[in-house]
Amino acid sequence: MRMSVCQIRLHEDAIVIIEGVYHKVLSRDESGVTLRTLGARPVSITKTHAELAELYFGEPRRLQLITDLTDGLPQAVKDNILRSIDSFTVHQQEVALMRLDYMQACDQCFALGTHTKVPQGFDDISQRVAAERRERAIEHECSNPADVPLERWSGSALKGWYGRWRKGGRSLAALIPLDDRKGRTGFRLDPEVEHIIAKRIREDWLLLNGPPLSQVINLIQGEIERRNNKQVIALKTPDGMTIRRWVKANVSLFDQIRHREGKAAAEQHFRHVQRAPQSTRPLEVVEIDHTPLDVLVLESDGSPARDRRRREKRTKRVWLTIAICATTRMIVGFHISDERPSWTSVMHCLRMAVLPKDLSNVRVMTAWPVFGIPEVVKLDNGREFHSRSMKAAAGQLRFELRYMPRRKPHLKGKVERVLGTIARDFCAYLPGRTFRDVREKGDYDSVGLAALTLPQIVEYFTLWVVDIYHNREHGGLLGRTPLQRWQDLGGWGVRLPPSADDLDPLIALVVPRTIQRDGITYLGLTYQSNELRGVRRRKGFHFGDEFLVKVDASDLSHLLVLVDEGVGWIKVPCIDPLADGTSLAEWRDVVRTARRMTREGQRVARATLFRSMELLRAECRKAGVRPQRLVDTDIDWFREHADDLMFDIAGEAEDDQAHGVERLRTRRPARSARMNSAESGRASARVGQGGRQFIASHGQTVALPAVFAAQAHASTSSAVPSAEAFDADDPDNWTAE
């Protein structure tokens, strides 16, 4: 069935191909088009417009329209017409579109008869079109008229463009500039000179940490001049630009980077990669990394009286450990500290990610509804990520630790991008910025303008994360914000361990220890229980067997021992009253003070430990502060010195007599009553019912809703005397036995 179509516009002398045969258009009317074949024996045929349409649109395509390229066009223009306009550079396309404005103006002027096809006519058209284009640029771009120049094209240039454009069938490709055809192509260097250049470039420039090209150019020119002094026919010495063009034409960019920067850099720039599988569920993949924040914080309290003068101000740099959900781009946890990153930084960050966030003390306007256990955690190959405690926590909470290869930061690019955003956005308005470049810093006085303390940095960063970053549209989320993406995928749910007790590995240090007849000795403290004594008598026990011991860094009064995988961890109390309520940070200060009070070569006596603890606590009371709590380097310090802190417990009486000090004990409530009250408080404050409070950095609470914190406090305070009645930490309340 023939289709009903309108007439197809074909100009006279146009060339078409019908079923592989070239035809020339002779005439066209309402009935159809008269064509004549090209060749030695031309034949004239007539095709109706419906037949031509069927040949053009039907399958297979049997009609093709081509442009008649006359012999008057240069070969370069003919080649351009056969190309698609998209195959040219952006600059060439812009020049062709600019010339098209002049060509269309020429067509209009010649059709109206206002101008003639003479040089003066083309010159007048050029001036008029140039003025119109300048006015449009000023109006559309809102530019200053003084900044928009007036185009100046001669009449002869327009005449040449117009002839090319008409002969090329008014194709835009006919107006493409032929700048690449101007001048001579290639290098016309003497073969001996080219050999010298190639040798010097290969031996002196394509080297790791090689000299710059300017020095190699001097070597090339010097070698050519030395050869000219020894031979009759002198070689022409190339200038520096000629040598640079030779290098650009003969040495690929890959070879430059491969030989001058190394294989890793070349692979980074020219690797061919495929897109990695994308995560689809919340917390399916969590990426963790560290970075130093580009800001200085005050070591003092920041009061005007103390920091009146710059020389009295003490500042320090802080580090940020951050975890981000790869699916939703939500920041699930962070940790800010003035200590270098360690495994404790990672554990604090993971614990914050797992527990609910309490924002009652932070001035935020939106929620942070993120908690749960990740499925995969992407990490660097840093030492802090390979600790035994980290792997033990991953095994108990059943998430995978996936270590990225070295020098491949793109494999966890989402957290790398977040770190860049933090440096660019969050640190931009903070006083005391250090900047990433000395040139960018300029005359900025980072130390003199530092005004924030570490708790303030933590508070401001929490506000930035919750109210700004989580509510900003993200390109990787198709315009959705991280908070909206988290809410969109809320139907997947989050994963939690069977019991909130399983979260203890996130704050515990796991070390191997043997069980002796007096129990387990760790950092000079002895831990013993009836259940632990029975382990030595069970079947299969051998002297020297190591058991995994889990220590809470905030409380050394007890530890957990994994004696049987089926039974799990058992709790073993410390028999030394020194450890009751003492953290690792406090115990470190006690040990260091006791060592200073002991003569070199002798072991630290028990009485010395009591005296040093009494001294430290008394001094802290006088200063109005409590002993320093846990910091990131405390646990790492004890892991290195644990085997050296073995005290002479058997000779306690002799040491006491030598120092002339009676044994001391604390007048405290019964230990069993306090432990029972603390355990009852923990039973109502777990993650499933609100989570247990924890301190993120320097005392700021970032977990546990307030209602559950109140319940835990109420249950604990019922069994412990009030602070006004009895203060166990006050040395004045201690007495001799």
Which helix or strand (DSSP H or E) is residue 423 part of?
Answer: helix 413-424
| Bigger pLDDT: 505 vs 246 | 246
**Phi, psi angles (nearest 5°) of residue 699:** 90, 5
Mean pLDDT, rounded, for 311-323: 83
Check whether 124 has a pLDDT greater than 90.
yes
Give me the phi and psi of 99, to 5 degrees please: -65, -30
What is the structure's pLDDT at 504?
A: 59
Write out pLDDT tens, residues 253-286. 999 999 998 888 888 788 776 677 788 899 999 9
Nearest CA to 331 among 391, 421, 259? 421
**pLDDT score at 1:** 45
Q: What would the two tokens of residue 395 be?
A: 């095994």
Provide CB contacts within 8 A for 21, sequence distance 6+.
37
Q: Rounded mean pLDDT of 81-97?
A: 86
Q: How far is CA 207 from CA 203, 213, 242, 247, 256, in A?
A: 7, 11, 21, 15, 9
Position 326 scores a pLDDT of 92
From CA 106, how far away is CA 121, in angstroms rounded? 9
Amino acid identity of residue 390, one-letter, is: M
Greater confidence (280 vs 687) lies with 280
User: Residue 69: its pLDDT value, please?
Assistant: 54
Q: What pLDDT was estimated at residue 267? A: 81
Q: Which of 464, 186, 419 is nearest to 292 (CA)?
A: 419
736 pLDDT higher than 50: no
Q: What percentage of the chain exceeds 70 in pLDDT? A: 72
Tell me, what's the pLDDT at 130?
A: 93
Q: Please give the Cα distance from 712 to 677 (Å, whole number).
A: 10
* Contact call for residues 484 and 464 (beta carbons, < 8 A): no
Write the pLDDT tens digit of every residue in 326-369: 999 999 999 998 888 877 788 788 888 888 888 888 888 889 99
Q: Is 17 helix (H, G, I), strand (E, B) or coil?
A: strand
238: pLDDT strictly greater than 60? yes
Angle between helix axes 119-141 and 155-167 (nearest 10 degrees) is 90
Q: Per mean pLDDT, which range of 198-202, 413-417, 558-562, 626-630 is the poorest? A: 626-630
Tell me what pLDDT residue 198 has.
93
Q: What is the pLDDT of residues 419-437, one digit of tens each?
A: 888 988 888 878 888 887 7
pLDDT of residue 687: 33
Per domain, the residue ranges of the chain are 15-66, 75-181, 191-270, 285-492, 500-578, 583-666, 671-720
Q: How confident is the model at residue 735 (pLDDT cuts 50, 70, 90)?
A: very low
d(CA 549, CA 569): 9
Residues 6+ apart with CB under 8 A from 524: 591, 604, 609, 645, 646, 647
- Where does residue 481 fall: left (phi above 0), alpha (psi -120 to 50 degrees), or beta otherwise? beta
d(CA 331, CA 308): 38
CA distance 372 to 352: 10
Residue range 461-476, pLDDT digits in tens: 999 999 999 999 988 8
Most trustworthy range by pLDDT among 608-612, 633-637, 657-661: 608-612
Facing residues of 8 across strands?
A: none
Report the mean per-residue pLDDT for the chain: 76
For tokens 């309402």, name the residue: 30
pLDDT band at 29 (very low <50, low <70, confident <90, very high): confident
Mean pLDDT within 593-622: 63
E strands in 646-733: 664-666
CB 519 within 8 A of CB 548: no
CB 527 within 8 A of CB 519: yes
Question: Confidence class of residue 84 from pLDDT cuts 50, 70 and 90?
Answer: confident
> Residue 375: pLDDT above 50?
yes
Round to the nearest angstrom and report the end-to-end CA distance of the chain: 117
How far apart are alpha carbons 519 and 529 in whole angstroms? 8
pLDDT in tens, 616-646: 666 666 665 444 444 445 555 455 555 444 4
Cα 302 from Cα 313, distance rounded (Å): 8
Cα(499)–Cα(502) distance, integer angstroms: 6
Q: What pLDDT score was predicted for residue 348?
A: 81
Instruction: Show the beta-strand stretches assigned E in 565-704.
Output: 568-573, 664-666
> Using an 8 Å Cβ cutoff, are 476 and 329 in contact?
yes
If pLDDT is split at 50, 70 and 90, which confidence band does 391 have?
Answer: confident
List Cα–Cα distances, 685 to 350, 583, 681, 696, in angstroms.
19, 21, 7, 18
Helix ranges, 547-605 (H): 584-596
User: What is the pLDDT at residue 209?
Assistant: 81
Note the pLDDT of residue 478.
86
Whose CA is closest to 446, among 601, 609, 293? 293
Q: What is the mean pLDDT of residues 666-685?
A: 39
**Lowest mean pLDDT, pick from 239-243, 470-474, 523-527:** 523-527
Cα dist from 139 to 95, 131, 134, 136, 567, whole Å:
21, 13, 9, 5, 81
Assign 522 to helix, strand or coil. strand
Helix (H, G, I), strand (E, B) or coil at 210: coil
Residue 126 has pLDDT above 80, yes or no: yes
The dihedral sign for the CA sequence 540, 544, 547, 552: positive
Q: Kindly tell me the burial class for residue 188, based on how many C-beta atoms sit within 10 Å of its own C-beta (0-12, 13-18, 19 or more).
A: exposed
* CA–CA distance, 92 with 173 (Å, rounded to integer): 10
Amino acid at 70: T
What is the arithmetic mean of pLDDT over 400-423?
Answer: 85
Whole-number Cα distances in Å, 261 to 198, 209, 214, 243, 733: 20, 7, 18, 21, 68
Confidence bin at 668 (pLDDT 50/70/90): very low
Q: Which residues contact 542 (CB under 8 A, 6 or more apart)?
A: none
> SS3 for 398?
coil
Q: Residue 300: its pLDDT value, please?
A: 57
- The CA distance from 599 to 594, in Å, is 10
Mean pLDDT in residue range 34-47 = 88
**Pick the residue with more confidence: 300 or 241?**
241
Pairwise pLDDT comparison (386 vs 671), residue with the higher score: 386
* Residue 671 pLDDT greater than 90, yes or no: no
Over residues 148-153, mean pLDDT: 88
Sign of CA dihedral 151, 157, 158, 162: negative
Give pLDDT, residue 702: 36
The percent of residues above 90 in pLDDT, for the chain, comes to 22
- The band of 682, judged by pLDDT with boundaries at 50, 70 and 90, is very low
673 versus 350: which is more confidently predicted? 350
The pLDDT of residue 660 is above 60: no
Residue 159 has pLDDT above 80, yes or no: yes
Q: Is the pLDDT of residue 701 over 60?
A: no
Q: Is the peptide bond before 60 cis (omega within 30 degrees of 0)?
A: yes
Q: Which of 303-307, 540-544, 616-620 has the lowest mean pLDDT?
A: 303-307
d(CA 228, CA 196) in angstroms, rounded, equals: 13
Please give the average per-residue pLDDT across 643-654, as a whole number: 41
pLDDT at 640: 52
Q: What is the pLDDT of residue 664?
A: 32
Position 517 confidence tier, pLDDT thresholds 50, 70, 90: confident
The pLDDT of residue 604: 55
- Picking from 605, 602, 600, 552, the residue whose alpha carbon sits closest to that of residue 574 is 552
Stated as kind and residue range, the H or E segment containing 34 is strand 33-37
Instruction: Tell me the pLDDT band of 70, cut-offs 50, 70 and 90.
Output: low
Superfamily of domain 285-492 in the CATH hierarchy: Ribonuclease H-like superfamily/Ribonuclease H (3.30.420.10)
